Amino acid sequence: MKHGPSITIATPTDGQLLHPKDLDIALKPIREIRDAVGNDIMIANDGHGKWALPQAIQIAEAMEPFDIMWQEDLMPLMNPSSLLRLQEATSAPICISERLLSRWQFREFIENGAARIVMPDLIWTGGISEVYKIAVMASVQQVPVAPHDATGPVNIFACAQICMSIPNAMIMEHVRPFLNGWYSDFVEPNLPIEHGWLHAPQEPGIGTRLRKQVFERSDVTIKVTDKDVRVGLPDEDWESVSDPFVTTPLNFDNSRNGRSEELEAEVYDIWRYRKQQIIESESDQL
Protein backbone atom coordinates (compact mmCIF):
# COMPACT_ATOMS: atom_id res chain seq x y z
CA MET A 1 0.00 0.00 0.00
CA LYS A 2 1.01 3.62 -0.51
CA HIS A 3 0.50 6.22 2.19
CA GLY A 4 1.26 9.94 2.52
CA PRO A 5 1.20 10.87 6.21
CA SER A 6 3.92 13.51 5.87
CA ILE A 7 2.06 15.55 3.23
CA THR A 8 -0.29 17.63 5.37
CA ILE A 9 2.22 18.45 8.08
CA ALA A 10 4.41 20.22 5.50
CA THR A 11 1.85 22.95 4.82
CA PRO A 12 2.42 25.31 7.80
CA THR A 13 6.12 25.78 7.06
CA ASP A 14 6.10 25.01 3.33
CA GLY A 15 8.31 22.02 4.09
CA GLN A 16 11.17 24.11 5.53
CA LEU A 17 10.79 23.10 9.19
CA LEU A 18 9.72 19.83 10.81
CA HIS A 19 8.79 19.75 14.49
CA PRO A 20 9.40 16.46 16.34
CA LYS A 21 5.75 16.34 17.41
CA ASP A 22 4.58 16.67 13.80
CA LEU A 23 7.00 13.96 12.72
CA ASP A 24 5.54 11.65 15.36
CA ILE A 25 2.05 12.37 13.98
CA ALA A 26 3.26 11.29 10.52
CA LEU A 27 4.82 8.11 11.86
CA LYS A 28 1.72 7.09 13.86
CA PRO A 29 -0.31 5.42 11.05
CA ILE A 30 2.76 3.56 9.76
CA ARG A 31 3.55 2.38 13.28
CA GLU A 32 -0.05 1.20 13.73
CA ILE A 33 -0.01 -0.74 10.45
CA ARG A 34 3.19 -2.52 11.41
CA ASP A 35 1.84 -3.29 14.89
CA ALA A 36 -1.34 -4.76 13.37
CA VAL A 37 0.00 -6.85 10.48
CA GLY A 38 3.76 -6.87 10.88
CA ASN A 39 5.56 -7.27 7.57
CA ASP A 40 2.63 -8.98 5.82
CA ILE A 41 2.20 -5.91 3.61
CA MET A 42 4.67 -3.49 2.10
CA ILE A 43 4.28 0.25 2.76
CA ALA A 44 5.41 2.97 0.35
CA ASN A 45 5.56 6.61 1.41
CA ASP A 46 4.54 9.48 -0.87
CA GLY A 47 5.65 12.99 0.10
CA HIS A 48 4.08 14.94 -2.84
CA GLY A 49 7.30 16.95 -3.23
CA LYS A 50 6.65 19.01 -0.10
CA TRP A 51 9.95 18.99 1.77
CA ALA A 52 13.38 20.62 1.66
CA LEU A 53 16.42 18.32 1.70
CA PRO A 54 17.23 18.37 5.48
CA GLN A 55 13.62 17.66 6.42
CA ALA A 56 13.31 14.96 3.75
CA ILE A 57 16.37 13.22 5.20
CA GLN A 58 14.87 13.56 8.69
CA ILE A 59 11.63 11.88 7.57
CA ALA A 60 13.40 9.10 5.66
CA GLU A 61 15.67 8.32 8.60
CA ALA A 62 12.73 8.28 11.04
CA MET A 63 10.89 5.77 8.83
CA GLU A 64 13.86 3.40 8.55
CA PRO A 65 12.65 1.03 11.33
CA PHE A 66 9.41 0.41 9.40
CA ASP A 67 11.10 -1.07 6.31
CA ILE A 68 9.56 1.35 3.81
CA MET A 69 8.98 -0.05 0.31
CA TRP A 70 10.03 3.25 -1.28
CA GLN A 71 10.25 6.97 -0.54
CA GLU A 72 8.43 8.84 -3.30
CA ASP A 73 8.69 12.58 -3.89
CA LEU A 74 9.76 13.66 -0.43
CA MET A 75 11.37 16.58 -2.28
CA PRO A 76 10.46 18.45 -5.48
CA LEU A 77 12.06 16.67 -8.45
CA MET A 78 14.15 19.62 -9.58
CA ASN A 79 17.71 18.74 -8.61
CA PRO A 80 19.15 15.28 -9.35
CA SER A 81 22.19 15.95 -7.13
CA SER A 82 20.04 16.82 -4.12
CA LEU A 83 17.88 13.74 -4.64
CA LEU A 84 21.03 11.62 -4.77
CA ARG A 85 22.01 13.02 -1.36
CA LEU A 86 18.62 11.92 -0.04
CA GLN A 87 19.11 8.44 -1.50
CA GLU A 88 22.52 8.20 0.14
CA ALA A 89 20.93 9.04 3.51
CA THR A 90 18.39 6.19 3.51
CA SER A 91 18.27 2.48 2.78
CA ALA A 92 14.75 2.85 1.35
CA PRO A 93 14.72 3.11 -2.45
CA ILE A 94 13.98 6.59 -3.78
CA CYS A 95 11.13 6.59 -6.30
CA ILE A 96 10.88 9.29 -8.97
CA SER A 97 7.33 9.78 -10.13
CA GLU A 98 4.74 11.18 -12.50
CA ARG A 99 5.99 14.70 -11.76
CA LEU A 100 8.67 14.13 -14.39
CA LEU A 101 7.53 14.28 -18.01
CA SER A 102 9.33 12.53 -20.89
CA ARG A 103 12.50 10.44 -20.92
CA TRP A 104 14.60 13.60 -21.04
CA GLN A 105 13.54 14.59 -17.51
CA PHE A 106 13.84 11.05 -16.15
CA ARG A 107 17.27 10.43 -17.67
CA GLU A 108 19.56 12.34 -15.31
CA PHE A 109 17.85 11.05 -12.15
CA ILE A 110 18.31 7.49 -13.41
CA GLU A 111 21.88 7.89 -14.62
CA ASN A 112 23.22 9.60 -11.49
CA GLY A 113 21.82 6.91 -9.18
CA ALA A 114 19.27 9.12 -7.44
CA ALA A 115 16.38 6.97 -8.63
CA ARG A 116 16.11 3.33 -7.63
CA ILE A 117 12.47 3.05 -8.76
CA VAL A 118 10.87 4.85 -11.71
CA MET A 119 7.15 5.69 -11.76
CA PRO A 120 6.12 7.40 -15.03
CA ASP A 121 2.51 8.26 -15.77
CA LEU A 122 1.56 7.02 -19.21
CA ILE A 123 -1.10 9.67 -19.86
CA TRP A 124 0.93 12.62 -18.61
CA THR A 125 4.32 11.75 -20.06
CA GLY A 126 3.65 10.92 -23.70
CA GLY A 127 1.76 7.66 -24.02
CA ILE A 128 2.75 4.04 -24.53
CA SER A 129 5.80 4.73 -26.71
CA GLU A 130 7.37 7.28 -24.35
CA VAL A 131 6.83 5.22 -21.19
CA TYR A 132 8.26 2.17 -22.95
CA LYS A 133 11.38 4.20 -23.80
CA ILE A 134 11.67 5.35 -20.18
CA ALA A 135 11.37 1.74 -19.01
CA VAL A 136 14.08 0.55 -21.41
CA MET A 137 16.34 3.41 -20.33
CA ALA A 138 15.80 2.44 -16.67
CA SER A 139 16.51 -1.22 -17.45
CA VAL A 140 20.00 -0.28 -18.67
CA GLN A 141 20.75 0.91 -15.11
CA GLN A 142 18.89 -2.11 -13.65
CA VAL A 143 16.23 0.16 -12.16
CA PRO A 144 12.67 -1.23 -11.86
CA VAL A 145 9.55 0.49 -13.18
CA ALA A 146 6.26 0.91 -11.30
CA PRO A 147 3.81 2.76 -13.60
CA HIS A 148 1.72 5.47 -11.96
CA ASP A 149 -2.04 5.56 -11.94
CA ALA A 150 -4.45 8.32 -10.99
CA THR A 151 -6.66 8.33 -14.07
CA GLY A 152 -8.51 5.03 -14.34
CA PRO A 153 -8.78 1.67 -16.08
CA VAL A 154 -7.79 2.70 -19.62
CA ASN A 155 -4.44 3.93 -18.32
CA ILE A 156 -3.84 0.71 -16.39
CA PHE A 157 -4.71 -1.46 -19.38
CA ALA A 158 -2.22 0.50 -21.48
CA CYS A 159 0.41 0.20 -18.74
CA ALA A 160 -0.25 -3.54 -18.57
CA GLN A 161 0.84 -3.82 -22.19
CA ILE A 162 4.14 -2.17 -21.25
CA CYS A 163 4.60 -4.28 -18.13
CA MET A 164 4.23 -7.46 -20.20
CA SER A 165 6.89 -6.32 -22.67
CA ILE A 166 9.72 -5.03 -20.45
CA PRO A 167 12.15 -6.94 -18.21
CA ASN A 168 12.00 -4.52 -15.27
CA ALA A 169 8.29 -4.22 -14.40
CA MET A 170 8.02 -4.07 -10.61
CA ILE A 171 4.41 -3.28 -9.70
CA MET A 172 1.36 -1.51 -11.18
CA GLU A 173 -0.24 1.16 -9.05
CA HIS A 174 -4.05 1.12 -8.82
CA VAL A 175 -6.77 2.40 -6.52
CA ARG A 176 -8.55 -0.66 -5.15
CA PRO A 177 -11.88 1.03 -4.24
CA PHE A 178 -12.10 2.31 -7.82
CA LEU A 179 -11.22 -1.12 -9.23
CA ASN A 180 -14.05 -2.66 -7.22
CA GLY A 181 -16.32 0.35 -7.79
CA TRP A 182 -16.89 2.54 -10.81
CA TYR A 183 -14.36 0.98 -13.24
CA SER A 184 -16.76 -1.81 -14.20
CA ASP A 185 -19.47 0.77 -14.93
CA PHE A 186 -17.39 2.18 -17.76
CA VAL A 187 -15.22 -0.55 -19.28
CA GLU A 188 -15.54 -4.20 -20.19
CA PRO A 189 -13.73 -6.29 -19.32
CA ASN A 190 -12.50 -4.80 -16.07
CA LEU A 191 -8.86 -5.09 -15.10
CA PRO A 192 -7.57 -8.69 -14.93
CA ILE A 193 -6.25 -8.41 -11.37
CA GLU A 194 -6.50 -11.62 -9.34
CA HIS A 195 -5.02 -12.22 -5.88
CA GLY A 196 -2.83 -9.17 -6.28
CA TRP A 197 -1.47 -10.10 -9.72
CA LEU A 198 -2.10 -8.10 -12.90
CA HIS A 199 -2.54 -10.57 -15.76
CA ALA A 200 -1.92 -9.93 -19.44
CA PRO A 201 -5.01 -8.46 -21.17
CA GLN A 202 -6.58 -10.94 -23.59
CA GLU A 203 -8.87 -8.66 -25.62
CA PRO A 204 -7.87 -6.80 -28.83
CA GLY A 205 -6.22 -3.38 -28.68
CA ILE A 206 -5.16 -2.35 -25.21
CA GLY A 207 -7.49 -5.01 -23.80
CA THR A 208 -10.74 -3.25 -22.95
CA ARG A 209 -13.51 -1.09 -24.42
CA LEU A 210 -16.08 1.40 -23.22
CA ARG A 211 -19.37 -0.27 -22.29
CA LYS A 212 -22.32 0.36 -24.62
CA GLN A 213 -24.26 1.71 -21.66
CA VAL A 214 -21.82 4.59 -21.32
CA PHE A 215 -23.06 6.06 -24.61
CA GLU A 216 -26.67 5.67 -23.49
CA ARG A 217 -26.30 7.69 -20.29
CA SER A 218 -28.41 10.83 -20.05
CA ASP A 219 -25.41 12.85 -18.85
CA VAL A 220 -22.96 11.72 -21.55
CA THR A 221 -21.45 14.25 -23.96
CA ILE A 222 -20.03 12.91 -27.23
CA LYS A 223 -17.78 15.12 -29.32
CA VAL A 224 -16.76 14.18 -32.86
CA THR A 225 -14.42 16.15 -35.10
CA ASP A 226 -13.13 15.78 -38.63
CA LYS A 227 -10.50 18.48 -38.16
CA ASP A 228 -6.83 17.77 -38.56
CA VAL A 229 -5.28 18.38 -35.14
CA ARG A 230 -1.68 17.57 -35.99
CA VAL A 231 0.82 19.90 -34.39
CA GLY A 232 3.63 21.36 -36.48
CA LEU A 233 4.34 21.56 -40.20
CA PRO A 234 3.87 18.93 -42.93
CA ASP A 235 6.96 16.95 -43.89
CA GLU A 236 6.39 17.54 -47.62
CA ASP A 237 5.75 20.74 -49.59
CA TRP A 238 5.95 22.88 -46.45
CA GLU A 239 8.20 25.42 -48.20
CA SER A 240 5.30 26.47 -50.41
CA VAL A 241 3.09 27.28 -47.42
CA SER A 242 2.47 31.00 -46.92
CA ASP A 243 0.78 30.46 -43.56
CA PRO A 244 1.62 27.32 -41.53
CA PHE A 245 -1.88 27.19 -40.06
CA VAL A 246 -3.55 26.85 -43.45
CA THR A 247 -2.42 23.22 -43.56
CA THR A 248 -2.20 22.53 -39.84
CA PRO A 249 -5.44 23.66 -38.19
CA LEU A 250 -5.33 23.22 -34.44
CA ASN A 251 -8.22 22.78 -32.07
CA PHE A 252 -6.94 22.87 -28.52
CA ASP A 253 -9.00 25.68 -27.04
CA ASN A 254 -11.51 28.32 -28.02
CA SER A 255 -9.09 31.23 -28.33
CA ARG A 256 -7.26 32.36 -31.49
CA ASN A 257 -9.36 30.09 -33.72
CA GLY A 258 -8.65 27.07 -31.56
CA ARG A 259 -4.95 27.79 -30.99
CA SER A 260 -3.17 28.80 -27.83
CA GLU A 261 -0.95 31.86 -28.19
CA GLU A 262 2.12 29.89 -27.10
CA LEU A 263 1.51 27.08 -29.57
CA GLU A 264 0.87 29.48 -32.42
CA ALA A 265 4.12 31.33 -31.68
CA GLU A 266 6.09 28.09 -31.55
CA VAL A 267 4.80 26.79 -34.89
CA TYR A 268 5.41 30.18 -36.54
CA ASP A 269 8.97 30.18 -35.19
CA ILE A 270 9.63 26.77 -36.77
CA TRP A 271 8.08 27.90 -40.04
CA ARG A 272 10.13 31.11 -40.16
CA TYR A 273 13.32 29.19 -39.32
CA ARG A 274 12.74 26.74 -42.18
CA LYS A 275 11.94 29.58 -44.56
CA GLN A 276 15.17 31.35 -43.58
CA GLN A 277 17.14 28.17 -44.25
CA ILE A 278 15.71 28.04 -47.79
CA ILE A 279 16.57 31.71 -48.41
CA GLU A 280 20.14 31.23 -47.15
CA SER A 281 20.56 28.08 -49.23
CA GLU A 282 19.37 29.86 -52.38
CA SER A 283 21.71 32.80 -51.67
CA ASP A 284 24.68 30.45 -51.35
CA GLN A 285 23.88 28.89 -54.71
CA LEU A 286 23.88 32.33 -56.35
One-character DSSP codes across 234-257: -SSSGGG-SSHHHHS---SSSSGG
Distance CA 134, CA 108 (A): 12
What pLDDT sits at residue 223?
85
Helix (H, G, I), strand (E, B) or coil at 223: coil
Which CATH number does 2-215 carry?
3.20.20.120
pLDDT for 54 beyond 90: yes
User: Between helices 153-163 and 127-140, what is the axis angle to 10°?
Assistant: 40
What are 94-142's pLDDT values in tens digits?
Answer: 999 999 989 999 999 999 999 999 999 999 998 999 999 999 999 999 9
Residues 5-29, mean pLDDT to the nearest whole number? 96
**Residue 273 pLDDT grade (very low, low, confident, very high; cuts 50, 70, 90):** low
Write down the domain spans for the chain: 2-215, 238-285
Number of Cβ within 10 Å of residue 107's Cβ equals 16
pTM to 2 decimal places: 0.77
Measure Cα distances from 249 to 235, 241, 257, 268, 270 in Å.
Answer: 15, 13, 9, 13, 15
**Residue 284 pLDDT grade (very low, low, confident, very high; cuts 50, 70, 90):** low
Phi and psi, residue 72, nearest 5°: -110, 125
